[in-house]
Amino acid sequence: MMLCDECGKNKATVHLTEIVNDQITKLNLCESCAKERGTEVEQHFGIADLLSALSDVEQHQPPAAGGTAPAGAVTKQKCASCGLTYEDFKKIGRLGCSDCYVAFKTGLSQLLKRIHGATQHIGKSPHPESVKEQKAVTHVQEELSRAKEELNKAVKKEEFEVAAALRDKVKFLEKKLKEGHK
pLDDT in tens, 93-104: 788 899 998 998
Q: Where are the domains of the chain?
A: 66-122, 128-179
pLDDT score recorded for residue 182: 44
Q: What is the mean pLDDT of residues 77-106?
A: 87
| Three-class SS state of 126 | coil
pLDDT at 44: 55
Sequence-distant (≥ 6) Cβ neighbours of residue 120 within 8 angstroms: none
pLDDT tens digits, residue range 102-117?
Answer: 998 888 888 777 777 7
Residues 54-78: b if buried by 16+ CB within 10 A, e if exposed: bbebbeeeeeeeeeeeebeebbebe
On whether the pTM is more than 0.75, the answer is no
Residue 19, pLDDT above cutoff 50: yes
Helices within the chain (DSSP H only): 31-36, 38-45, 47-59, 71-75, 86-92, 100-103, 105-116, 128-156, 160-179
Q: How far is CA 55 from CA 15, 23, 82, 159, in A?
A: 12, 26, 21, 72
Beta bridge partners of 85: 78
Residues facing residue 41 across a β-bridge:
none
> Which is more confident, 150 or 73?
150
More confidently predicted of 75 and 158: 158
